[in-house]
Amino acid sequence: MDAFRLLGAGASFKKNGKFARDHELFNAQPARRDPAEAARAEKDIERELDFFHTAATQPSASVTADEGSLSKKRKRNHNDDHAANGSLTTITTAEEANAHRKANRIKVTGTDVPYPFASFSDLLSRFELRSFLKRNLDKYNFNKPTPIQMQAIPILLHKRDLLAIAPTGSGKTLAFVLPMVQDLKAHESAGFRALIISPTRELAQQIYNEVKKLTEGRGMKVCMLTKATAATQAQAPELRQKFDILISTPLRLVHALQQESIDLSNVRHLIMDEADKLFELGFLEQTDEILAACSSPALQKALFSATLPSSIEQLANTVMKDPVRVIIGSKEAAAETIDQKLVYAGNEQGKLIAIRNLVQTGGLKPPCLVFVQSIERAKALFHELVYDGLNVDVIHGERTKAQRDAVIDKFREGQIWILIATDVMARGIDFKGVNLVINYDFPQSVQSYVHRIGRTGRAGRRGEAVTYFTKDDAEYLKSIVNVMRQSGCEVEDWLLKLKKPSQEARKKLKKKPVDRRNISTQPKVFKEKRAHKKDIIENSKKKKAPQQEVVTASDHEGDEAD
């Protein structure tokens, strides 16, 4: 990492003078040695865990497992507990349920929370799991349930509303698809009985594929709402094909509802995947319209996400009835299978030098995802890395559906080693075996950070996440440091002593990213020469255009005379 040492070589930030601001950013006031200091990062997050304010007012009506700090001693105890309970195959008592939750870091809040299950055989005996489901679980190698599946599936099978927060890659899709299919049983002609909403088309396609796997051999009809399928649904009601399960993005579904081409009055299961995104201002109006269209009194609602800010607490209260909240690990923590690193790059040129240094030293292990904050920056970084001869491509909203699908397929097949993406791609897309995630641009929120790095370290595999930051990002570092600490990563003392960003600063960053210089290591004088040359060429083209028009006009006059 000599390149990074050179970036800061000889630097000295004095408390007074023109570097006072830099000293304040990177050198917080010395903290007192406090025994509770190790738990502060977690407490900053744990204070927001009680979405429905039940912990203080209804202590007897809630069950909470695995409370307290994640010290190294506690992590050893966690491993011991997990080993001790590894042979547990059935859960029949409250003591066994609480021990199982503790061993798997499952936190639950609510009244009369159903026991988790320890194995799929336990689930089969307790809920009389349908034979085709068991057959499909075996076929696609779903051998051992994940923590979110252990607790969420029994809750949904008991017809309870659910708010579930679990790390990316932890098996949330199966957690809501299995109980839904178990209840639907088989195909009926009643129209849509289950609805799954996701914020992106790519995630909707991924969910569609998983639903098709689990419904094999049962004849259930699954519809992913696209422009083509929406057109077929726009026919007269008696001519429409009857589907059981509908999967869609909010905008596409709202458009169909406004055209009255889709009826959601029979929907009994409403699943909102990536719920934190669906309740943001950009989607909130569409989400409200969808909720209003699902008018069945028997409607069961489930919200799933990897992160869940406290800001949606009131909204969740208004749409759910007596919900159970399930949190795996901590509310805003990444999976423990991800090795997270923060790297100071100095400035925008330093970032490009850093990523090139990774390539030269063998630190860039494909397949690799690189996240930037805008489409323009995605294009610019793509051109820089292509010039370096790297096997790279880019995916963003300005590319067509066919182009995006082709890029995703090539990345999954290993034809593309490095994929540059914007934050939209960080939402739920399951790329198998991503080894490295690079946050080229610092994420705009904790939620964005967790979703980005969650593309690696999935399904128990190890992964690495590197986040570059500059002086402009220093104000927001502590939020990411807290997530790293919560996830069990080693964090240097000076990072723990940084000041927390104010609420106003966090809101400002979430609304608008940091204004950054263009992605390039080319000296300014070369850029000016290139721009000047481009202007000369453009002016030359403009001068030639009128002359060509005159010649063309005279030619036509001659033709008419003949």
The string of pLDDT tens digits covering residues 51-75 is 444 444 444 334 444 444 434 444 4
Non-local CB neighbours of 196 within 8 Å, separated by 6+ positions: 176, 204, 207, 211, 245, 246, 247, 248, 271, 273
Written as six digits, the tokens of 378 are: 């995605």
CA 153, CA 172: separation in Å to the nearest integer?
10
What is the rounded distance in angstroms from the CA atom of residue 481 to the CA atom of residue 486? 9
The pLDDT, as a whole number, for residue 499 is: 84
pLDDT along the chain (562 residues), means of 10: 45 54 56 51 48 42 41 42 54 92 93 93 90 93 94 96 89 95 88 94 92 91 89 68 92 92 94 88 88 94 86 74 90 78 90 91 90 92 90 89 88 91 72 89 89 82 91 88 87 85 82 82 58 75 61 45 42
Read off the pLDDT of residues 428-455 as tens digits, 9 standing for 90 and up. Answer: 567 778 999 999 999 988 888 988 888 8
The reported pLDDT for the residue numbered 77 is 45
Phi, psi torsion values for 526, nearest 5 degrees: -70, -40
Torsion of CA 67, 70, 73, 75, to 10 degrees: 90
CA 196, 198, 199 angle in degrees (round to 5)?
A: 155
Alpha-carbon distance of 88 to 196, in angstroms, equals 33
User: From residue 221, how far is each of 186, 240, 244, 257 by CA, in Å?
Assistant: 9, 13, 5, 20
pLDDT at 78: 43
- Write out the DSSP string of 401-443: HHHHHHHHHHHHHTS-SEEEE-GGGGSS---TT--EEEESS--
Cβ of 335: how many Cβ atoms within 10 Å?
26
pLDDT at 466: 94
Predicted local confidence at residue 15, as pLDDT = 56
Write the DSSP string, 342-399: EEEEESHHHHHHHHHHHHHHT---SSEEEE-SSHHHHHHHHHHHHHTT--EEEE-TTS
Other Cβ atoms less than 10 A from the Cβ of 45: the count is 18
What pLDDT is recorded for position 438? Answer: 95
Q: Give the Cα-Cα-Cα angle 71, 437, 352 (nearest 5 degrees).
A: 120
Task: Give the per-residue pLDDT at 518.
Answer: 82
Q: Which two tokens stand for residue 440?
A: 């080229």
Say if CB 440 and CB 370 are below 8 A apart: yes
- Cα dihedral sign for 111, 112, 114, 116? positive
8 Å CB contact between 278 and 287: yes
Looking at residue 255, what is its pLDDT? 93
Contacts of residues 2-7 at CB distance under 8 Å and 24 or more positions apart, as own/partner, are 3/353, 3/354, 3/357, 4/343, 4/344, 4/345, 4/346, 4/350, 4/354, 4/357, 7/344, 7/345, 7/346, 7/350, 7/353
* Residue 48: predicted pLDDT: 45
Residue in 49, 533, 510 with CA at minimum distance from that of residue 280? 510
Contact 432, 288 (CB under 8 A): no
Q: Please name the residue that has the structure tokens 């088989």.
A: 186
Tokens of 501: 């960003």
pLDDT, residue 556, reads: 46
Residue whose structure tokens are 């068991």: 134
Angle at 360 between CA 359 and CA 365, to 5 degrees: 35
In this structure, what are the phi and psi dihedrals at residue 56, rounded to the nearest 5 degrees? -85, -35
Residue 115, token pair as written in the block: 């026991």
DSSP H or E run through 106: strand 106-109
Q: Where are the alpha helices (DSSP H) in 104-200?
A: 120-127, 131-139, 147-157, 172-184
